Structure formats: structure tokens, C-alpha cells
Chain A
Amino acid sequence: EPEVTQTPSHQVTQMGQEVILRCVPISNHLYFYWYRQILGQKVEFLVSFYNNEISEKSEIFDDQFSVERPDGSNFTLKIRSTKLEDSAMYFCASSDSHSEAFFGQGTRLTVV
């Protein structure tokens, strides 16, 4: 069964450093998403991406965040200057025009 894969599974970074979280969506999917889940809180939408551009973003997705699809298979989330409060589980998801979103296993980001 096709699946969304995310790397790394766990990333520890120092405050102020840049991190890039990587995702490989399901190959024929057209819509891509990033969500995050701060420990003990709900899963929150960050951004969606379609046709090589951001289609929607939440107020959490401020100027320190960016997304990119650098080639035909990867979808990345960059956090330019990490803060302690960016520590969370980050989920990538993808969907086509007919089905639900499929989620990756998540990247646990710890900012120290």
C-alpha cells in the first residue's frame, strides 16, 4: 500500500538553528499538507500546497516557515530560526482529488 514517508523521525536542534523536515508524498497525489501537534494539544493545520504554490496557510505559518517541492517527489518544511515553542510532532500528508489525506509517521522536532 502506498504511504507517505517522513525523515528524520526525530530531530533535535538548538534554538535559532534552521531545520528542514522532509516528506515524500504518495506519488500520484496533488495536494500536500503540513500539520503539527504540540505535546498534549490537538493536531493543527499549518499549510497546504497545490500546483507548486501555497494554497492555504494558518496563522501559525508565519515568516519563519516555508515549504518547497524541490523536485518531483519531495515536499519540505523549513523552519528558519527555531524557537523552543516549535517543539512538536510535524505531520506531512497528501491527497488526490478523490480520497482522504494520507498521513506520514511524523517527525518529532525537539528544540533545545
Chain B
Amino acid sequence: AQSVSQHNHHVILSEAASLELGCNYSYGGTVNLFWYVQYPGQHLQLLLKYFSGDPLVKGIKGFEAEFIKSKFSFNLRKPSVQWSDTAEYFCAAGRGGGYQKVTFGIGTKLQVIP
């Protein structure tokens, strides 16, 4: 069965600290990978996506993620977090091709302390 695992459920960091959120997926065949962010009271927004090509993907707001096929991983990174990055982060995976149904990880709540 398709599944997505996120290792850290709640992360607390000080401003300017570096961030890495782990994500592993279990998917047969071609996979599309995503990180979504949900700011308090707002809807899910796409941070970045990987469909094919360069495994290092850059997204909005200084985030990046690296697809490592051999490890079935797609970890999210940011070198220096800000208070405004406080949000919940969801890793998601879907089959390749046009149909974009995704399976979500449980989410990681990030709290950045000023």
C-alpha cells in the first residue's frame, strides 16, 4: 500500500536555526512528491514539488527538498527559519501522470521561537 511517513511530529526551533524535516514514501512505480504548508487558519499551499529531473528542488520562501530515490526520501530543508515559518508541513506522494491523487503524511508542526 502507498504510504508517506514523516518522522518529526512537532519541531521547535529558534529563529535563524536550520530546518530539516524528514519524509519517506512507499510507492511503486513513478512517483510525484510534494511538500504542502498550512499556516494557522489557512488552506494547504504548495511549497514545492518533484515530478522528474533535478532531484534538488527549490520552492517558495527559501525552502528546498532533495529526492533520494535509493532512500525513498524527500526531506525538506531551510537554512535559516523565520518566525513566519511557524506552520504545519505535510509531505505527500502521488502516482506519476495526470491523475494527482496524493497520499499525505501525518504532518509536522513547526514552531519557530523569535
Using a CB–CB distance below 8 Å, which chain A residues touch chain B?
30-31, 33, 35, 41-45, 48, 50, 55-56, 91, 93, 95-106
Tell whether B43 is near chain A: CB-to-CB under 8 Å.
Answer: yes
Give the interface of B toward A (CB within 8 A). 32, 34, 36, 42-46, 49, 90, 92, 94, 97-107
Bound Cα distance from A100 to B107, whole angstroms: 19
Interface of B is mostly: strand
- In Å, the complex CA distance between A56 and B99 comes to 10
Given contacts A43-B90, A100-B32, contact A95 B43 (CB under 8 A): no
CA distance A97 to B32 in the complex (A): 13
Q: Is the CB of B34 within 8 A of A96?
A: no
Q: Are A43 and B42 also in contact (CB < 8 A) when A97-B98, A100-B49 are? A: no
Contact B99 A100 (CB under 8 A): no
CA distance A106 to B99 in the complex (A): 21
Picked from A44, A48, A104, the residue with its CB within 8 Å of the CB of B43 is A104
Q: In the bound complex, what is the Cα–Cα distance between A48 and B95 (angstroms)?
A: 14
Q: Is the CB of A42 within 8 A of B106?
A: yes
